Amino acid sequence: MPLHVTDHTWTQTDSTVYISVPLKGATSGKVDIVSTDDYLKVHFPPFLFEAFLFEPVDDDKSTAKVGNGVAVFSLSKKTSGLWDSLMITTNDKETKREIRERALEKHQQKLSSESKRKAEKQQAEKKYALETTMKLENDERDRIKQMKDAEREKTTSELVAWQLRQKQKAEEDQLKLRRRESLNHQAGSTERQEDGAATFRGDKLGQSDTKSKKKQANRPPPRVSGSIQITFTPRVFPTALRESRVPEEEEWLKKQAEARRAVSAAAEELKDLTEEERNPDWLKDKGNKCFAAGDYLGAVNAYSLAIRLNRQIPALYSNRAACHLKLRNLHKAIEDASRALDLLTPAVAANAAARARASVRRGSAFCQLQLYAEGLQDYEAALKLEPHNEALQADAQRIRDTIQGTAANPDSEKHGGTR
């Protein structure tokens, strides 16, 4: 037996009745509502609210809102005026049963009508989408056909023009051949006349020698022999051209050239420095020496000044990241290592070792911040570049064990040295 809800509240105006039904903790998804002109049911197991309305309402203009633990109904009256009560006062179970059955039947018809209307709407939308797709396909087919026709006409006109040129060329060649044959015929007649005269004079041998010399004089001189010097543009990278990644290598070389050009521009801003202090390479070596001596702050200052002179040298950021690791400035170490990796692109064989060092330094900083998953990604990236590095393999395995809870926190600062 359902538990009937009796603590509902209601108010009214001349045109509207407002009913509020508490949902007793039920969620909106578990509330079943049936509403008709003279009947209202709210079912949320095990509770049930039924209202056999005092007068008919306009169900199409009525609304229901479910939320915040209450269901609120706004029922539009068909006849203006105030009701004496919300529900009819009869206790006749048969009358209530008839009203309930009639309401359920209307509700089913309403649901069926809504379902049919929804299906018709979906069918209309599918039909419209199909017609639109077919129209687009027909337009595309017509466009392709027009393109083919235009291309066919163009090809046909070009073929006709080519055939016409070939015909004209053949006619010209035939005309030249006829002229050459005519000239040869005239030359042959002349030679026969000269031969007859020479025979008549008894000078046939001398005439033959003259003709031989004439032919030799008409021959072109022999070609002059020689040699051609061929030079090849030297390649910076040692890989064979067929095995190299030319676009990536060219981009890397371009970045290196831009880094060198940036030195002179930055030096103008720091005119008070000595000539050595305006040289990023000298500052890098000085930072390396400070790092080796344990003066990590001095190394940071040297690398920072070099970066002010040239912001395109990845080794400066990578080495400064190693200093920050020693000084426990872990977030700065991650930032510098990330900047170094950004500059070490594209990935080519020439910068593989530098990429491995920057990845290890960033991974070490992540691990010291207890971000082991991120640190493991960097160590695995370094292992792809140096798969036979036993120290990297051991560190990566220690991080995996830490993630799985089988080892202490890894300390990978031994890979923090500068290059």
| CATH architecture of the domain covering 271-415 | Alpha Horseshoe (1.25)
Q: What whole-number distance in Å separates Cα of residue 179 and Cα of residue 181?
A: 5
Bridge partners, residue 44, by sequence: 47
Is the C-alpha dihedral spanning 369, 375, 378, 382 positive or negative? positive
Which CATH number is 3-89 given? 2.60.40.790
Residue 303 CB coordination number (10 Å): 31
CATH 2.60.40.790 residue spans of the chain? 3-89
Q: What whole-number distance in Å separates Cα of residue 258 and Cα of residue 251?
A: 11
What pLDDT, on a 0 to 100 scale, did the predictor assign at position 353?
92
**8 Å CB contact between 290 and 299:** yes
Bridge partners, residue 33, by sequence: 42
Task: Say which residues have a Cβ less than 8 Å from residue 343's Cβ, sequence separation at least 6.
Answer: 255, 312, 313, 314, 317
What digits encode the pLDDT tens for the residues 79-132?
Answer: 888 888 888 877 777 777 777 777 777 777 777 887 888 888 888 888 888 888
Residue with tokens 């050239």: 257
What pLDDT, on a 0 to 100 scale, did the predictor assign at position 40?
84
Q: What whole-number distance in Å separates Cα of residue 219 and Cα of residue 137?
A: 71
CATH 1.25.40.10 residue spans of the chain? 271-415
What digits encode the pLDDT tens for the residues 220-268?
Answer: 777 777 777 777 666 555 555 555 566 777 777 777 777 666 655 555 5
Low-confidence ranges of the chain (pLDDT < 50): 413-414
What pLDDT, on a 0 to 100 scale, did the predictor assign at position 255?
74
The string over 169-194, giving b where at least 16 C-beta atoms fall within 10 Å of a residue's C-beta and e elsewhere, is: eeeeeeeeeeeeeeeeeeeeeeeeee
